[in-house]
Amino acid sequence: MNELNTVTFDFPSRSVNEAFARGAVACFAAQLDMTLTELGDVKTAVSEAVTNCAVHAYPDSIGNIRMRLRILEGGVLEIQVKDKGRGIEDVERARQPLFTTGGEDRGGMGFTIMESFMDTVKVRSRVGSGTTVTMRKRVGRRPAGR
């Protein structure tokens, strides 16, 4: 798929930056003419991905999160959230509902939520090197004169 537009930015893994990431993706995705439901889904998935970085990648420190947003041909929004934190030992296990390494106060539903709101979710991780989550959502064409 050809890329039509892209933006990349870095920010610290502070929990307050989760709201920044949600706002940034909403502004960028506006060019796709998303419905409020689609936009809410994307913002929720981004919240989960960024929160995972803050809680799991850098549990005892502040690290860097890189988010790349792309508009691809065919009305596809691609969101990549990348950290250089501790990585995930077993990605398949981490993607199971209710699995968490974040303690009793974490629900273990992050990947499940991302998968339910996005069309595709790919996770690449190496222990000690970090994790990259790439999510895609295709936005439907709206009828003229809606």
Q: Which residues are catalytic?
A: 48, 52, 106
Ramachandran assignment for 130, one of left (phi > 0), alpha (psi -120 to 50 degrees), beta (any other): left
Residue 105 CB coordination number (10 Å):
7
Residue with tokens 């250089």: 84
Q: How far is CA 144 from the centre of its chain?
A: 31
Short-list 66, 63, 67, 86, CA closest to 77:
67
Cβ proximity of 106 and 55 under 8 Å: yes
List, in sequence order, every residue forming a beta bridge with 109; answer none if it has no partner. Answer: none
